[in-house]
Structure 1
Amino acid sequence: MIQKVHELSKVFQLEVLVVDDSSMMLSLAKRILESKYKVSLAQSGEECLIAAKLHSPKLILLDVTMKGMDGFNVLRLLKNNESTSSIPVILMTSDEHSETEIRGLHEGAVDFITKPFNPEILLQRVQNTIELSLLQKNLQFEVDKQAEKIKSFASQLMQACSSLVDAKDHYTRGHSVRVAKYSREIARRLGRSSQNLEDIYSMGLLHDIGKLIVEKSIIRKNSRLTDEEYTNIKEHTIAGYNFLKSISELPGLAIGARWHHEHFDGTGYPDGLKGPQIPEDARIIAIADAYDAMTSKRAYTQIRPQAEVRAEIIRCRGTHFDPAVTDILVQMIDEDKDYKMNEDGWNESLVESQPESK
């Protein structure tokens, strides 16, 4: 890798910006460096800041004791500007006091060169610094690329798991995706961050993962469940929690799975939590889950009319459902004039017409 970086500097003539108020020092530095690098010059701090933004050099050699704006002030401004903050800076100084070096390193310099400098040492320091900088940027690129692959894999895995749950009953196919979409839209209207919208979508996808332990005959039963069967199906919340709680990077997955059947008045399961004791994400998923149950064809029920669904949601405001979350869902229902919210593609088209979240 180092050899590749070295070859790159030869082929593309990487640029070095030299900043000094001495014409003699600028000329000397240019003669030493121009055999390997494209060299640009600046005689003041102001010229340096302009040149750094325009040319984005791979390295800046910056004199400390210049007239007007000194090197420390220039360094601070470079590091505080997003467009120049990543450019490595080597400070040049005739001051051999350690305090000067400590201050420069604290301000963000990567190295020091004492004037008058040895040509071979200058060239080697510049080369080493540029190579290290390019290696670090390449490493960060590879890390970002691998992180994106992992994120994509995780997303695909969650989609596959949600499909596996839905496959236990063909009547509920797509249920997890719809709950995820409704939850994300409710959260968006509550002003959640973009990252939180991704998180709650994932929670919605896997909220029913615990149903994998429930017998298919119970899930597909089209008549009233016995007390034993109902107890069995309620266990999916604990099973889902136990399955997901070890995923430390996204603890909300387990939260959504465990508490999406809690009721705002404390009459839900598995823990009988009440009001704000229930995590807000679980409160959102709970109402999204209930909405989809009423607007989807199931083994035991048909799709209910929109007006009836709306009335039921309002009836359960403050008992089953968080009032604030209920009001958001009612707003969404009222905007859904053609009763299309439970169809594929709804979320994308609706979100486009709504203001961005904070």
Structure 2
Amino acid sequence: MRQTVVLLVDGNEGDRQRLHQILDPRVKLKEVASGREALSYIKQHNVTLVLLASKLPDMGGFEVLRKIHQEPRFKDLPVIMIVQDQSQKAEAAVAMAGGFDIIRKPFIPIIVVKKVEQVLELEYLHSNLKEEVHRQTQLAEDRLASSERLFEETVMALAKTIDAKDAYTRGHSQRVARYARHIAYKLGWLEEEQRRIYFMGLLHDIGKIGVPEAIINKTTHLTDEEYDKIKQHTVIGSEILDLVAEFPELAIGARSHHERYDGKGYPDGFAGSQIPVYARVIAVADAYDAMTSRRSYRDVLPQDVVRGEIVKGRGTQFDPQFADVMLQIIDEDDEYMLHER
């Protein structure tokens, strides 16, 4: 904490000596005799309180007070005016000028001491309150950052656990999350929205935890019963993520990423705007990764084939707006490297 300094500004040497006797050694008192000296000293040193005579050799005390408070960094510096006037008008004048209080001449020691101590105590509490608020704010920010890191690490670990069930789609969830975030970026979504859809993409397939690996890794055609079990991963995933109260939207990507724009998807058969917007974005990203990933039964599809499938699904499988953004991304990927990164 900075040292407490009281600046006494008074051209009357006798008054300065008298105040020095009253206040010493209670406070560290610095004395100057003119307004110019006072303004110069305040700019160069930390001052806690100013005792300012209303009349000075070079300018009026009220002018000095006005110049002090004109400076933004000194606008809250408390000033006690030293006045000869015994009327209530003096108090009103000081208050209207922005002074904190007044000390009248002739000085009454106990009143001088109490008024100075009152200001210094208030400044001490104010200073400590600011420091405590800053400390608590920093502590809260540190805890929030730590909590966010833990959340991100947990989500990433879950995504890797999900992808590990399928030997041919390692990294699928991370890629879908990146593609979805890139689409959101292209759409001009806010950074927080991009962050949200990224996490939704990471966990969109979490429901596969409840699907037998034998079905997930099957290389031959799935039976109707097996396909029904695969489709259940959307419901299982949403039920798992519904438990995350702090991020209620997280379940959206898991439940609805297999809905189709024409209403022929699952599990709810939603169509068009019925499908949550985040899920419509993830659906395009998921399809792109499915076509650009190596599978047990085929290699990565050529880029022109992938593009053709996105065009074909525009307005039927995919929301046209998000399909168009994905097509733009594909067209910008001249060397077909996006899926390799």
TM-score by length of 2: 0.75
User: Where do 1:265-304 residues align within 5 Å?
Assistant: 265-304=262-301
Alpha carbons of structure 1 residues 313 and 122: separation in structure 2 relative to 1, 3 Å: same
Gaps of 5+ in 1: 1-8, 72-90, 95-113, 345-358
CA distance in 2, matches of 1:70, 1:119: 19
Alpha carbons of structure 1 residues 35 and 162: separation in structure 2 relative to 1, 3 Å: farther
Alignment correspondent of 2:154: 157
CA distance in 1, matches of 2:100, 2:94: 14
**Percentage of matched positions with identical amino acids:** 40
Alignment correspondent of 2:184: 187
| Code of the aligned partner of 2:78 | L
**Counterpart among 178, 182, 194 of residue 197 in structure 1:** 194
**Counterpart among 315, 318, 326 of residue 318 in structure 1:** 315
CA distance in 2, matches of 1:62, 1:319: 74
CA distance in 2, matches of 1:161, 1:141: 30
Q: What secondary structure, in the 3-state scheme, does the structure 2 residue paired with 1:39 have?
A: coil
CA distance in 1, matches of 2:142, 2:305: 49
CA distance in 2, matches of 1:13, 1:93: 22
CA distance in 2, matches of 1:269, 1:22: 85
Deviations 1:85-142 (A, max 9, x none): xxxxxx8257xxxxxxxxxxxxxxxxxxx99962222222221221121111111111
Alpha carbons of structure 1 residues 93 and 333: separation in structure 2 relative to 1, 3 Å: same
Deviations 1:325-351 (A, max 9, x none): 00000000001000001122xxxxxxx
Alignment correspondent of 1:123: 120
Greater displacement, 127-136 / 326-335: 127-136
Alignment correspondent of 2:46: 38
CA distance in 1, matches of 2:171, 2:315: 28
Gaps of 5+ in 2: 31-44, 51-62, 81-90, 103-110
**Counterpart among 223, 240, 248 of residue 226 in structure 1:** 223
CA distance in 2, matches of 1:249, 1:62: 49
| Code of the aligned partner of 2:100 | M
CA distance in 1, matches of 2:144, 2:279: 28
CA distance in 1, matches of 2:164, 2:232: 19
Q: Shift of the alpha carbon at 1:14? A: 7.3
Q: Shift of the alpha carbon at 1:60? A: 3.7
Q: Shift of the alpha carbon at 1:174? A: 0.5
Alignment correspondent of 2:40: none
CA distance in 1, matches of 2:262, 2:300: 27
Structure number with larger C-alpha Rg: 2
CA distance in 2, matches of 1:251, 1:62: 54
In the alignment, structure 1 residue 172 sits paired with structure 2 residue 169: yes
Greater displacement, 330-339 / 125-134: 125-134
CA distance in 2, matches of 1:14, 1:245: 56
Alignment correspondent of 2:107: none
TM-score by length of 1: 0.72
In the alignment, structure 1 residue 141 sits paired with structure 2 residue 141: no
CA distance in 1, matches of 2:186, 2:92: 55
Q: Contact 1:297/1:303 (CA < 8 Å) preserved in 2?
A: yes
In the alignment, structure 1 residue 92 sits paired with structure 2 residue 100: yes
User: Where do 1:8-87 residues align within 5 Å?
Assistant: 9=1, 12-13=2-3, 34=28, 38-39=46-47, 43-44=64-65, 47-52=68-73, 60-61=77-78, 71=98
Q: Shift of the alpha carbon at 1:157? A: 0.4
Q: Contact 1:200/1:252 (CA < 8 Å) preserved in 2?
A: no
| Code of the aligned partner of 1:52 | R
Q: What secondary structure, in the 3-state scheme, does the structure 1 residue paired with 2:317 have?
A: coil
Q: Contact 1:240/1:254 (CA < 8 Å) preserved in 2?
A: yes
Q: Contact 1:292/1:342 (CA < 8 Å) preserved in 2?
A: yes
Deviations 1:243-285 (A, max 9, x none): 0112222222101111000000100000011101111110000
Greater displacement, 216-225 / 157-166: 216-225
Alignment length (residue pairs): 288
Alignment correspondent of 2:212: 215
Alpha carbons of structure 1 residues 39 and 261: separation in structure 2 relative to 1, 3 Å: same
